[in-house]
Amino acid sequence: MKLRELGEDRLIARLVKGLATHRDIVVGPGDDCAVLRLPQRTEYLLFKTDCVVERVHFSPNENPVAVGWKAMMRTLSDFAAMSGCPRYALVTLVTPADRRASWISQLYRGLRRAADRFKVAIVGGETSSTSGPLLVSVAALGTVEKARCVLRSGGKLADILFVTGRLGGSRKARHLKFVPRIEEARWLTENFPIHAMMDLSDGLGADLPRLAKASGLGFEIEESALPRNRGCSVAAAINDGEDYELLFAASPNGARLLEQKWRRKFPRLLLTRIGRLNRKSQIANRKAFHGYVHFQ
Amino acid sequence: MKLRELGEDRLIARLVKGLATHRDIVVGPGDDCAVLRLPQRTEYLLFKTDCVVERVHFSPNENPVAVGWKAMMRTLSDFAAMSGCPRYALVTLVTPADRRASWISQLYRGLRRAADRFKVAIVGGETSSTSGPLLVSVAALGTVEKARCVLRSGGKLADILFVTGRLGGSRKARHLKFVPRIEEARWLTENFPIHAMMDLSDGLGADLPRLAKASGLGFEIEESALPRNRGCSVAAAINDGEDYELLFAASPNGARLLEQKWRRKFPRLLLTRIGRLNRKSQIANRKAFHGYVHFQ
């Protein structure tokens, strides 16, 4: 059945059926706003939105479950970047009217599966038609203990720069099935003073300069040390984007202990020193260090 | 200059320049998430997202300031629907790369003007390119005192149904310049027990059945009593949509006092009794009572 035969109210009724609930949700989908109880006073609220657009972030013949997974995880990855806990999400779906309702149901299966993975409750959303490509936007709300909120701007001179996992080539397949590094980020701030952190969505070449600039510093990296996915060049590891790994800065004191404890805690996930924050960046070939550039 | 020449980072730097700030905003635009202090413990959080799509919610030759205004106000109107106060917004902009940067700046002027009107702080957002029509999605976070949160589901048997303003024909021009009824909703719940409320976005024909159904009741309306915009038929007042007026249900006791006080407080805004909640709806012509139907 096509959406134009199903209609909006029946579509929404299908989509929200059986959504997880929670005692802090006063009102979930179906009213004008979601109504939520406040978190603890020792916490900050985190608020973030992100989207995926057909032909930009996924191809039209992609598995809709994977598209839904990615749409949710892109937003949740920004909570990892601050060592926060995502809690609630709103899903905006903008779709051509001739899309099959079963495609949309599969998309929602992916969205829910991703939300469930981190105990995030989908508390509402919005649907609209469009004459263009399909789009999914996810807005999320979460919390972080005040003392554990890590910004991009907290980097200090001589901090060691670390990345989790491997970089490059993610746009082939990994971008549709990645798991945001929420558990890893939570463990890091529970055990070590992390000065600055972000998730790598546009690639190290775009994102590292943002972190350094926010901290009022430059950076140097050892290109040969970059942890690369199989078959990827250094340039690919720097510029491809969509890796959703963590980039963080921590004091050189304690860096070795951090690495030791990391290996014991996450034996299957690489943690690599890739460089350090300095006074002024010295990048040999600035043009080859750019990351994914939007609108180009 | 076209967006593809300007690039994302410079576009965002332009857009966030001079955004209003507030002592409850720990981190605004530019980091992974917005970081916000908690509101009072006597309040609930309200969380809502809405969007406007070119060729669906506005035409391509529309004034971009008006488009921005509408994009923000559509979301804020849902806070009026619960008598809440919107506080923070995130703006997602999905645009063709060949759109002029000046058009986007004007769009943001409209978004900011609308946000400022209700002291809402834009605390971040997201941009993406698209091969299709331009789209603006606004996610907002707000608060409401627990005792003053009005749901759709609180309607009681024999409640009087009221609407503010006039209905119909709004899609000609009014949909781009409406002011959400936030002040009016706040005044209502400060002074009277309002049982159920919502904003009329899809038209009375779609929205009133939703309110009645949520309250487990039916409804009757006096069609001749409907407050219509100039030149509008009863059918237009019921089905056109995009009026963003309030529909609410209150006890018949006190209804006259409410009307009297309303006239003194809002002498220039009509308040009209249009019917009541009953056990079972009796609509003479069900097919003529439908509102704006999406995907059709």
Taking only the tens place, the pLDDT of each residue in A89-120 is 999 999 999 999 899 999 999 999 999 999 99
Mean local confidence (pLDDT), B71-87: 95
Percent of chain A with pLDDT over 70: 95
Cβ contact A45–B37 (<8 Å): yes
Identify the closest residue of chain B to A198 by CA–CA distance.
Answer: B32
Given a contact cutoff of 8 angstroms between Cβ atoms, the answer to whether A107 and A68 are in contact is: yes
In chain A, residues with a C-beta closer than 8 Å to the C-beta of B37 are: 44-45
**Residue B173: pLDDT over 80:** yes
Among B residues 183-222, those touching chain A with beta carbons less than 8 Å apart: 198-199, 210, 214
**Residue A29: pLDDT over 90:** no
Better pLDDT: A143 or A19: A143
Cβ contact A53–B129 (<8 Å): yes
Supply the pLDDT for residue A287. Answer: 65
Window from A14-18, A138-142, B223-227, B229-233 with minimum mean pLDDT: A14-18
Q: A108 to chain B, minimum CA–CA distance in Å?
A: 17
Cβ contact B126–A47 (<8 Å): no
Supply the pLDDT for residue B176. Answer: 93
Cβ contact A27–B151 (<8 Å): yes
Least CB-CB distance to B36: which of A47, A82, A214? A47
Mean local confidence (pLDDT), B122-139: 93
Mean local confidence (pLDDT), B239-255: 96
Mean local confidence (pLDDT), A169-180: 92
Is A135 in the B-facing interface, judged by CB distances under 8 Å?
Answer: yes
Mean of per-residue pLDDT scores for chain B? 90
Supply the pLDDT for residue A26. Answer: 77
Cβ contact B129–A33 (<8 Å): no
Query: Which pLDDT band, with edges at 50, 70 and 90, does A277 fall under?
Result: very high
In chain B, residues with a C-beta closer than 8 Å to the C-beta of A48 are: 32-34, 90, 124
Mean local confidence (pLDDT), B136-145: 94
Mean local confidence (pLDDT), A37-61: 91
Better pLDDT: B114 or A293: B114
Better pLDDT: B276 or A29: B276
- Distance of alpha carbon A75 from its chain centroid, rounded? 5
Cβ contact A131–B126 (<8 Å): no
Cβ contact A135–B139 (<8 Å): no
**Residue B283: pLDDT over 70:** no
Question: If phi over 0 gives left and psi between -120 and 50 gives alpha, with beta otherwise, what is residue A55?
Answer: left
Better pLDDT: B72 or B8: B72
Better pLDDT: B122 or B264: B264
Query: Which pLDDT band, with edges at 50, 70 and 90, does A25 fall under?
Result: confident
Supply the pLDDT for residue B33. Answer: 78
**Residue A173: pLDDT over 90:** no
Measured from the Cβ of residue A51, the count of other Cβ atoms closer than 10 Å reads: 26
Residue with tokens 């969007």: B51
Supply the pLDDT for residue B186. Answer: 98
Most B CBs within 10 Å, among A100, A120, A295, to test the B interface: A295
Cβ contact B45–A55 (<8 Å): no
**Residues in CB range of B139: below 8 A, 6 or more apart:** A47, A49, A90, A139, B47, B48, B49, B75, B89, B90, B92
**Residues in CB range of B95: below 8 A, 6 or more apart:** B3, B104, B127, B128, B129, B130, B134, B135
Better pLDDT: A163 or A42: A163
For B191-235, the pLDDT digits (tens) are: 999 999 999 999 999 999 999 999 999 999 999 999 999 999 999
Cβ contact B56–A130 (<8 Å): yes
Among A residues 140-169, those touching chain B with beta carbons less than 8 Å apart: 141-142, 144, 149, 151-153
Supply the pLDDT for residue B17. Answer: 76
Q: Where are the beta strands (DSSP E) in chain A?
A: 25-27, 34-36, 43-53, 85-95, 121-129, 135-145, 160-164, 194-199, 218-221, 246-250, 271-278
In chain B, residues with a C-beta closer than 8 Å to the C-beta of A214 are: 30-31
Supply the pLDDT for residue B80. Answer: 96
Query: Which pLDDT band, with edges at 50, 70 and 90, does B290 fall under?
Result: confident
Mean local confidence (pLDDT), B265-276: 98
Mean local confidence (pLDDT), A203-231: 94
Better pLDDT: A46 or A21: A46
Mean local confidence (pLDDT), B56-61: 93
Cβ contact B35–A149 (<8 Å): yes
Tokens of A281: 């960046």
Supply the pLDDT for residue A41. Answer: 81
Q: Please give the class, per CATH, of domain B3-146.
A: alpha beta
Question: If phi over 0 gives left and psi between -120 and 50 gives alpha, with beta otherwise, what is residue B195?
Answer: alpha
Mean local confidence (pLDDT), A7-23: 73
Instruction: Let me know if the fold of B3-146 is the same as that of B150-288.
Output: no
Supply the pLDDT for residue B38. Answer: 81
Q: What is the CATH number of domain A150-288?
A: 3.90.650.10
Mean local confidence (pLDDT), B124-138: 93
**Residue A294: pLDDT over 70:** no
Q: A56 to chain B, minimum CA–CA distance in Å?
A: 7
Least CB-CB distance to A32: which of B35, B82, B88? B82
Tokens of A179: 């798991």
**Residue A73: pLDDT over 90:** yes
Quick one: fold of A3-147? 60s Ribosomal Protein L30; Chain: A; (3.30.1330)
For chain B, the domains span 3-146, 150-288
Mean local confidence (pLDDT), B132-151: 94
Better pLDDT: B19 or B183: B183
Among B residues 101-120, those touching chain A with beta carbons less than 8 Å apart: none
Query: Which pLDDT band, with edges at 50, 70 and 90, does A198 fall under?
Result: very high
Mean local confidence (pLDDT), B108-128: 92
CA B121/CA B114 separation, integer angstroms: 10
Query: Which pLDDT band, with edges at 50, 70 and 90, does A34 fall under?
Result: confident
Measured from the Cβ of residue A279, the count of other Cβ atoms closer than 10 Å reads: 11
Q: A81 to chain B, minimum CA–CA distance in Å?
A: 6
Angle at B245 between CA A38 and CA B89, to 5 degrees: 40
ipTM value, please give it: 0.90
